[in-house]
């Protein structure tokens, strides 16, 4: 395969990578938004402070993922956004209101702060639920039926739970005391719903797409694939055990839940990617057929090859600056 | 029921008009912040840090609204204009991609460190983060304007089966209108931020804030505006001449010239009539349009008659152009007068302060009007000569687009109300707190080094209330 022929696959991989990073990074800040404590303002301030320096950059990974879809597979981009016009609208609306709520709450009159916190929470849920709905619609191949709609709704709930799961795990890492225990309890509940979501996609996916069924259950693929669900569910059990015992002495292993949940996200993405590769829209559109001209792709490729490592380095740098338990957020 | 095409155009115009307001502040405001921070590094005087601390919050707010409304833009192409990406995606995609890769990530990542990292970072690293955010915002403008300019004056591509394919990226990026549009837009941002900084500072002083910071910021804003506005008029003129060369139909619409003529007059006012293809109520300066455009009093200026069916709607372009010029001239007068007062009298009268307050968002008016001239002036094409706007639209049912349009309008209205309310609220709050609200960061601060450290001359009262 020549470099030019490989380009669509390289971009497919890049898109998967940015979706994964997006789901983990914006995942935790959306999750913190979903879990925003209802009663205590001190807790709310701490929760917001734990994501304050990061949320802007985290959201950029979504722009990159949509950007790659747009740049590398314009036809797929058009189909995707036409089919999902209304869910996309709600996703954008959610992201808008939570972004502005975040900034207004810090600057606004104190009496409005509770209101902005609620807007932030609502925006986060709206964004995650729309993403879940979109994913459900994607898996069912944009089918227009009651079952497909119900499946998308289930997916909306489970993806929201998955974000709350990683958000709770993030709070366990970044906070301590009462708030950490609150986060651990919520994350545990969210974990069970996430597990339900993973299971339902595992069941529904081969039922809807015969091609997926064949890929999953034919030998020897079935045996080779077995580690994916096994790792996923064992990671979830580890997380569940850890969260049950919070607080640990000296905060031992406070990074475990977050890392393990990130691992769960990775495994789920690998599973989905294996099911559909090399399609960019399941059973409808091959990546190669949807790809832009190779001149455009190679022009972007060189940029990505140079810039993406730099982006990763300074992203790490920014997380290092704010490492450790969260302290109160102050504008310089 | 309105048709999808018209609704999509209204929706896109709403989205982009709302979006552009915020980058037009944040691009230049980032450089103001860098300037404040550098002055603080050099002089160690706390007033610069106070300016920084006040404006960084407004920057954060502006930036956040810019980001979220920008995310909306990245979806708009696919949701409403699939034809755009299908036909010219090979050009537009990579340019947008480079914007995300080289600018968006950089500004968003270092923003966190810039906003919340001052206590955790050495001062110079923090200043560097501020610099990188400023570079990021300007780089963002570079790529977006490269694409926009290519849509105005496309080159460096070939068409294969109705789809544009790139031939020469240098030609595509540095297309004929790009340098002018980039400079014109960056200067517009500079002016927008300058008048905002000056206006909100004037508001603080007017509200009885006699601390040093708003005075210093007011000076920085108004002097910057006084320098930038003549430059902007000069660049704007060059941009106009460039447009005359490449998009004469746009100039004809801007000037309201229906028939090709020698010695064309400059219309100060008129009401263009698209049906009868003439103007009513003209107030004109003879031959001036020819002199400005061709530098010859009898020079020929092409009229709209040469482009029937291929020229933009005249009324919108004609009036937007006059609004932009009007606000620009007002900026010139106000910035120079206030600079003169500041240099000679060192005090500002209440009515001068109020004038500045009322000009706080004048940059928005000029920027939007200017964008309407250039964007409506490109119609009926989306990409000049390559793709008509009507060919790019989605086939969605109009009810969907109407629904999303209503949602956007409501959301944006609420955000705008909250934004303006918050900015003036923050200014009042700052006016109310006493001096020396600094945290432990500047433990060296005391009343004694208030004077005599680099800003002696600023230590004069500016406002009446001082």
Distance of residue A34 Cα from the nearest chain B Cα, in angstroms: 19
pTM of the model: 0.85
Average pLDDT over residues B202-220: 89
Question: Which residues 98-117 of chain A have a CB within 8 Å of chain B?
Answer: 99-100, 102-104, 106-109
Asked if B425 and A77 come within 8 Å (Cβ–Cβ), the reply is no
pLDDT band at B361; cut points 50, 70, 90: very high
The answer to whether residues B363 and B196 touch, using CB atoms and an 8 Å cutoff, is yes
Distance of residue B320 Cα from the nearest chain A Cα, in angstroms: 29
* B359 exposure class (CB count in 10 Å sphere: 0-12, 13-18, 19+): buried
Question: Which residues 19-58 of chain A have a CB within 8 Å of chain B?
Answer: 52-54, 56-57
Residues of B in contact with A296 (CB under 8 A): 89-91, 93-94, 165-166
Q: What pLDDT is attached to residue A332?
A: 53
Average pLDDT over residues B106-133: 87
Nearest residue of A to residue B94, measured between CA atoms: A300
Mean pLDDT comparison of A50-59, B193-202, B235-244, highest-scoring range: B193-202
* Number of CB atoms found within 10 A of residue A252's CB: 10
Nearest residue of A to residue B65, measured between CA atoms: A100
The answer to whether residues A53 and B117 touch, using CB atoms and an 8 Å cutoff, is yes
* Residue B205 preceded by cis peptide, ω within 30: no
Residues of A in contact with B41 (CB under 8 A): none
pLDDT exceeds cutoff 80 at B217: yes
The answer to whether residues B158 and B165 touch, using CB atoms and an 8 Å cutoff, is yes
- For residues A128 and A26, what is the distance between their CA atoms, to the nearest angstrom? 10
Distance of residue A163 Cα from the nearest chain B Cα, in angstroms: 20
pLDDT band at B273; cut points 50, 70, 90: confident
The answer to whether residues A11 and A72 touch, using CB atoms and an 8 Å cutoff, is yes
- For residues B375 and B381, what is the distance between their CA atoms, to the nearest angstrom? 10
Helices A3-34 and A256-276 pack at an angle, to 10 degrees, of: 140
Average of per-residue pLDDT values in chain B: 86
pLDDT band at B420; cut points 50, 70, 90: very high
Going from the C-alpha of B344 to that of each of A96, A228, B304, B315, B355, the distances in angstroms are: 47, 76, 49, 44, 19
A93: contact with B, CB 8 A cutoff: yes
Q: What pLDDT is attached to residue A39?
A: 67
At residue A240's C-alpha, the angle toward residues A236 and A243, to 5°, is 135
Q: B425 Cβ partners below 8 Å, 6+ apart? A: A107, A108, A109
Average pLDDT over residues B14-27: 94
Asked if A332 and B426 come within 8 Å (Cβ–Cβ), the reply is no
Of the candidates B417, B460, B459, B458, the residue with the CA atom closest to the CA atom of residue B219: B458
Q: What pLDDT is attached to residue B30?
A: 95
Average pLDDT over residues B162-189: 93
Nearest residue of A to residue B442, measured between CA atoms: A332
- Percentage of residues in chain B having pLDDT higher than 90: 41
Going from the C-alpha of B362 to that of each of B17, B198, B215, B237, the distances in angstroms are: 15, 11, 20, 20
pLDDT exceeds cutoff 90 at B463: no
Distance of residue B165 Cα from the nearest chain A Cα, in angstroms: 7
Q: Which of A52, A80, A311 sits opposite B116 (nearest CB)?
A: A52
- For residues A115 and A111, what is the distance between their CA atoms, to the nearest angstrom? 8
* Number of CB atoms found within 10 A of residue B136's CB: 21
Of the candidates B277, B275, B223, B253, the residue with the CA atom closest to the CA atom of residue B35: B223
Distance of residue B206 Cα from the nearest chain A Cα, in angstroms: 21
Q: What pLDDT is attached to residue B394?
A: 83
Asked if A300 and B94 come within 8 Å (Cβ–Cβ), the reply is yes
Bigger pLDDT: A274 vs B2 = A274
Residues of A in contact with B116 (CB under 8 A): 52-53, 322, 329-332
Residues of B in contact with A62 (CB under 8 A): 71
* A150 exposure class (CB count in 10 Å sphere: 0-12, 13-18, 19+): exposed
Q: What pLDDT is attached to residue B441?
A: 40
Q: DSSP code of A247?
A: S
- For residues B52 and B59, what is the distance between their CA atoms, to the nearest angstrom? 10
Nearest residue of B to residue A87, measured between CA atoms: B404
pLDDT exceeds cutoff 50 at B344: yes
The answer to whether residues B4 and B402 touch, using CB atoms and an 8 Å cutoff, is no
Q: Which of A107, A295, A321 sits opposite B57 (nearest CB)?
A: A107
Distance of residue A116 Cα from the nearest chain B Cα, in angstroms: 11
The answer to whether residues A71 and B166 touch, using CB atoms and an 8 Å cutoff, is no
Where is average pLDDT lowest: A49-53, B191-195, B229-233?
Answer: A49-53
The answer to whether residues A303 and B96 touch, using CB atoms and an 8 Å cutoff, is no
Q: Residue A31 corresponds to which tokens in the numbers above?
A: 């999750």
A15: contact with B, CB 8 A cutoff: no
Average pLDDT per 10 consecutive residues for chain A, totaling 332 residues: 84 90 92 84 85 85 86 84 87 90 77 85 94 88 84 90 93 88 90 90 81 81 83 90 84 87 90 83 81 84 87 86 76 59
Mean pLDDT comparison of A209-218, B6-15, B24-33, highest-scoring range: B24-33
pLDDT exceeds cutoff 80 at B454: no
pLDDT tens-digit map of B392-416: 888 888 888 899 899 999 999 999 9
- For residues B93 and A296, what is the distance between their CA atoms, to the nearest angstrom? 8
Residues of B in contact with A304 (CB under 8 A): 97, 101
Distance of residue B412 Cα from the nearest chain A Cα, in angstroms: 9
Q: What pLDDT is attached to residue A170?
A: 93
Nearest residue of A to residue B441, measured between CA atoms: A332
Q: How many residues appear in chain A?
A: 332
- Percentage of residues in chain B having pLDDT higher than 70: 93
Asked if B74 and A70 come within 8 Å (Cβ–Cβ), the reply is yes
Q: For chain B, how long is the longest CA-to-CA vector?
A: 75
């Amino acid at each position: 395969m020549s470099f030019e022929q490989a380009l669509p696959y390289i971009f497919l991989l890049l898109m998967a990578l940015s979706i994964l990073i997006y789901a983990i990074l914006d995942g935790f800040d959306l999750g913190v938004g979903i879990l925003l404590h209802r009663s205590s303002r001190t807790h709310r301030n701490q929760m917001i402070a734990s994501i304050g320096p990061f949320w802007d950059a985290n959201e950029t990974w979504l722009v990159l993922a949509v950007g790659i879809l747009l740049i590398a597979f314009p036809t797929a981009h058009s189909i995707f956004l036409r089919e999902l016009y209304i869910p996309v609208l709600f996703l954008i609306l959610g992201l808008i209101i939570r972004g502005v709520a975040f900034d207004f709450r810090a600057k606004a009159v104190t009496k409005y702060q509770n209101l902005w916190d609620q807007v932030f929470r609502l925006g986060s849920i709206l964004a995650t639920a729309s993403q879940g709905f979109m994913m459900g619609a994607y898996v069912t191949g944009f089918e227009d039926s009651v079952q497909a709609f119900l499946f998308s709704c289930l997916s909306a709930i489970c993806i929201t739970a998955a974000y709350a799961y990683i958000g709770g795990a993030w709070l366990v890492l970044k906070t301590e005391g009462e708030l950490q225990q609150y986060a651990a309890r919520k994350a545990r509940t969210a974990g069970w719903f996430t597990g339900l979501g993973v299971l339902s996609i595992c069941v529904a996916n081969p039922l809807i797409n015969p091609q997926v069924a064949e890929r999953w259950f034919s030998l020897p693929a079935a045996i080779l694939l077995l580690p994916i669900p096994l790792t996923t569910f064992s990671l979830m059990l580890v997380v569940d055990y850890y969260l049950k015992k919070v607080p640990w002495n000296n905060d031992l292993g406070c990074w475990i839940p977050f890392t393990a949940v990130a691992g769960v996200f990775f495994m789920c993405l690998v599973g989905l990617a294996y099911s559909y590769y090399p399609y960019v829209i399941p059973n409808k559109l091959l990546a190669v057929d949807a790809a832009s001209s190779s001149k455009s792709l190679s022009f972007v490729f060189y940029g990505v090859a140079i810039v993406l490592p730099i982006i990763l380095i300074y992203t790490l740098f920014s997380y290092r600056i704010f490492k450790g338990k969260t302290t109160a957020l102050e504008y310089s | 029921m309105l048709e999808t095409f018209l609704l999509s155009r209204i929706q896109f115009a709403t989205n982009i008009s709302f979006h552009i307001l915020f980058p037009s502040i944040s691009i230049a405001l980032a450089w103001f912040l860098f300037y404040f921070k550098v002055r603080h590094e050099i002089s160690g005087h706390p007033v610069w840090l106070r300016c920084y601390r006040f404006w960084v919050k407004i920057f954060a707010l502006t930036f956040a609204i810019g980001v979220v409304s920008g995310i909306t833009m990245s979806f708009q192409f696919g949701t409403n204009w699939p034809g755009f990406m299908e036909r010219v995606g090979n050009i537009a995609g990579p340019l947008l991609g480079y914007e995300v890769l080289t600018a968006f990530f950089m500004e968003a990542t270092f923003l966190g460190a810039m906003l919340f990292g001052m206590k955790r970072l050495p001062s110079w690293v923090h200043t560097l983060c501020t610099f990188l955010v400023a570079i990021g915002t300007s780089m963002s403008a570079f790529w977006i304007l490269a694409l926009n300019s290519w849509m105005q004056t496309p080159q460096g591509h070939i068409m294969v089966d109705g789809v544009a394919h790139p031939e020469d990226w240098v030609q595509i990026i540095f297309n004929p209108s790009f340098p002018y549009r980039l400079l014109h837009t960056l200067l517009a941002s500079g002016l927008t931020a300058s008048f905002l900084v000056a206006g909100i500072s004037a508001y603080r002083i007017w509200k009885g804030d006699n601390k040093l910071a708003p005075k210093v910021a007011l000076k920085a804003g108004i002097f910057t505006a006084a320098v930038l506005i003549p430059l902007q008029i000069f660049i704007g003129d060059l941009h106009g001449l460039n447009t005359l060369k490449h998009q004469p139909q746009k100039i004809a619409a801007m000037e309201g010239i229906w028939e090709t003529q020698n010695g064309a007059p400059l219309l100060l006012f008129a009401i263009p009539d698209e049906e009868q293809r003439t103007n009513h109520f003209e107030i004109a300066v003879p031959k001036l349009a020819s002199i400005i455009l061709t530098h010859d009093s009898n020079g020929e200026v092409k009229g709209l008659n040469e482009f029937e069916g291929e020229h933009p709607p005249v009324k919108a372009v004609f009036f937007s152009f006059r609004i932009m010029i009007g606000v620009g001239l007002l900026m010139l007068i106000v910035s120079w007068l206030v600079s003169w007062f500041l240099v000679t009298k060192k005090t500002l009268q209440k009515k001068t302060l109020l004038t500045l307050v009322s000009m706080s968002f004048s940059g928005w008016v000029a920027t939007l009007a200017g964008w309407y001239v250039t964007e409506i002036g490109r119609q009926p094409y989306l990409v000049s000569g390559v793709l008509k706007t009507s060919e790019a639209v989605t086939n969605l049912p109009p009810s969907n687009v109407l629904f999303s349009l209503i949602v956007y309008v409501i959301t944006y209205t609420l955000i705008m109300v909250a934004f303006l309310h918050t900015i003036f609220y923050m200014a009042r709050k700052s006016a109310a707190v006493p001096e020396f609200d600094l945290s432990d960061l500047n433990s060296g601060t005391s009343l004694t080094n208030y004077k005599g450290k680099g800003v002696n001359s600023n230590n004069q009262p500016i406002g009446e209330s001082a």
